[in-house]
Structure 1
Amino acid sequence: MKRLMRFGLVGFLGFLVDFGTLALLLHQTSLGPLAARVIAIALALLVTWQCNRLFTFGASSRTVLAEGVRYGSVGLVSSCINYAVYSALILTLPAVNPLIALIFASAAALAFSFLGYSRFVFRN
């Protein structure tokens, strides 16, 4: 339960990075919501890897490179789920605010992320 709570805190931090980066890119650049989201997801993934490694699960017994590849693999699949939901909302409901779509997309990827990270990446 403690690990799940820490994962939730790190996930919330990642969500804030994702949300803040997306908002900044949408308001300060000419990027559209789909391109801006790719950058936001990538940055959030890097932040959550480091935080999960240090705070939630602890470093695995693997090398940083091996752990990073595993984390990236789970993160890529989770990001694809996240991005698919986000894109579907943006493309099918043009009136939806991209930041609202991000909230729903992030929730859709949450369970997969926890199971993948806890069972595949940080399991010693």
Structure 2
Amino acid sequence: MRRQILHFFLAGCIGFVVDAGGVQLLVSVFDANPYLARLLSFLCAANATWLYNRSVTFVGRGSFALVGEWTRWMLAMSAGFALNYVTYAALVFHFPTVRAWPVLGVAAGSTLGAIANFLSAHHWVYGGPANGLKSRP
């Protein structure tokens, strides 16, 4: 369990870089709407964390059906993202500094979302018994 938490945290760091970097790039360079940009950056981050977690954190657990596992992952991460996004949107709406630097809002919402995401990944997406495999195809 400690190993899973550590690797889930590392995956979350990767996801944070993808999410925060993506939203900041879209807002700063492309003048994108910060609310819509966040939805796109979340999708990119969720895919990045899924790839890491299925390959490292939860290797040998869960389903081998790639599309089914990805679908469960995206649904599970959406619950954590809802908590994360509400925090982000409120900060962007109320604080001009966060509107200009949305990475700050991403950081604030990430802690709430991370807890929900780990619990749903551990118990639902990869909640099956370990199958003893060291790696996946």
Task: Tell me the TM-score range normalised by the shorter chain.
Answer: over 0.9
TM-score normalised to the size of structure 1?
A: 0.92
Counterpart for residue 80 of structure 1: 82
Paired letter, 1:71 = W
* C-alpha distance in 1 between matches for 2:68 and 2:32: 33
Q: For the structure 1 residues 35 and 61, does the alpha-carbon distance in structure 2 shift closer, same or farther, using more than 3 Å as the test?
A: closer
* C-alpha distance in 2 between matches for 1:36 and 1:105: 15
Deviations 1:30-66 (A, max 9, x none): 2121111111111000111111000101152341122
- Sequence identity of aligned pairs in percent? 28
* C-alpha distance in 2 between matches for 1:99 and 1:80: 17
* C-alpha distance in 2 between matches for 1:51 and 1:32: 29
1:75 shift after superposition? 1.2
Aligned pairs, how many?
Answer: 124
1:121 shift after superposition? 0.2
Counterpart for residue 48 of structure 1: 49
Mark the structure with the bigger radius of gyration. Answer: 2
Q: Equivalences for 1:83-122 in 2 at 5 Å?
A: 83-96=85-98, 97-122=101-126
Q: Does the residue aligned with 2:97 lie in a helix, a strand or coil?
A: coil
Task: Tell me if structure 1 keeps the 8 A contact 2:22–2:41.
Answer: yes
Matched, 1:57 2:40: no
Matched, 1:11 2:15: no
Paired letter, 2:115 = A
Instruction: Name stretches of at least 5 consecutive residues in structure 1 with no aligned partner.
Output: none
Paired letter, 2:76 = V
Q: Does the residue aligned with 2:103 lie in a helix, a strand or coil?
A: helix
Instruction: Name stretches of at least 5 consecutive residues in structure 2 with no aligned partner.
Output: 129-137
> Which runs of structure 1 show a deviation greater than 4 angstroms over 4 or more consecutive aligned residues?
none
Q: Equivalences for 1:16-35 in 2 at 5 Å?
A: 16-35=17-36
